[in-house]
Structure 1
């Protein structure tokens, strides 16, 4: 049966000679896997593979037979909000890589969650259009995503207590703690002066916090890229 839905491209792997298997977070069906034929063919007249770059916002018509099917197919697709800067800015593209990896590892539900989809959509749009003050985007993204995953951080004390209980080997100084409070209480775009070491430490605390609640999270490979880029 055909359905219309919007989606956020997360990742893909090559399949056979010219096809891919793509993971997409959809507004109508949650996280889903699709097989897409012919997108890597040299005979293709359009560069459809670009539609599956990380965080691309898609309008799709998809085939979904039943919940028992684990891989579905896409009938039609197009990008409904082309990127202005994200693929061309090394910092933004590194942040996008990190966000994509975190979403791929944490989104498990195969059902509609419109509020979560809109949060991801608005976050991607902010990152793409922001001219400045996006250096803490990834930190605030994790803080807000946690609420949708069922372990939201209501106050800095909640975060500190869980980290302490699980033996995280670092105590925040006043500057780091105050910055964490500000990031928790404001949306994207707030300007908070943070040096590189404190920004990385807050991020590592949040990843540790995620691992407390999601034991299967594993290694975050894009973290090393962020350490190099966000200086």
Structure 2
């Protein structure tokens, strides 16, 4: 018996002339791969894009590496994400990062519904170049990497290894950057991303900290994410 599955598109790979394998962060099954056939028309191929939340039918079998998916459709329409190049670039980069960060078979219900809410907000609100750093900060607790925000006058340097602030500085970042701004980000809700404005150099410093933190703790090689260069070029 087929059931409807909802999920966030992560990656697609051509399987044949009219079939693709799609990696999806599903609502209740974690990160899974699905084979979709008969996708010759442009409408169906358009569905599988960064920051698209999709739903489809599937006779899901948790023992299979790849399940067959049928009748895919968007869970909600997106317009600004595909028409605003700044939003499109953010969606592309963050989708690549999610694909590399989320492990298969890990529970995903809370993460999926949180991301769905964030993407809906991103679609409807005006663009903010602070969105990407807020987004990455938001996923850290869901993958067990929540930094400890113990910033103080004594502990004012972020320690990548321990994931907290300490009194010793081994920073390789811009010496003019204050780790207080990173602490401030950690203490804010993502609903504030459209209000909180970081200067360009501060956003890049915060992004470097977040990516290095993922590199160290999750073995995520962020250096080969091609869309990051595009994102930086469109920051302002």
**Structure 2-normalised TM-score?**
0.85
Show the 5 A alignment for 1:77-116.
77-116=72-111
Aligned to 1:213: 217
How far, CA to CA, are the matches of 2:125 and 2:150 in structure 1?
27
Aligned residues: 224
Q: How does 1:74-153 map to 2 (within 5 A)?
A: 74-132=69-127, 134-153=128-147
Partner of 1:196: 200
**Aligned alpha-carbon RMSD (Å):** 2.4
Preserved CA contact (<8 Å) 2:25 2:32: yes
Q: What's 1:169 paired with?
A: 172
> What residue ranges of structure 2 are gaps of 5+ in the alignment?
none
TM-score by length of 1: 0.87
SS at 1:47's partner residue? helix
With over 3 angstroms needed to count, the CA separation of the structure-2 counterparts of 1:55 and 1:166, relative to structure 1, is farther
- Tell whether the 8 Å contact from 2:160 to 2:212 is kept in structure 1 after alignment: no
* CA spacing shift, 1:130–1:181, aligned 2, 3 Å: same
Cα distance 1:211–1:56, how it changes in 2: closer, same or farther (>3 A)?
same
CA 1:216 to 1:195, structure 2 compared with 1: closer, same or farther past 3 Å? Answer: closer
Mind listing any 5+ residue stretches in structure 1 that lack a counterpart?
none
Find the counterpart in structure 2 of residue 226 from structure 1.
231
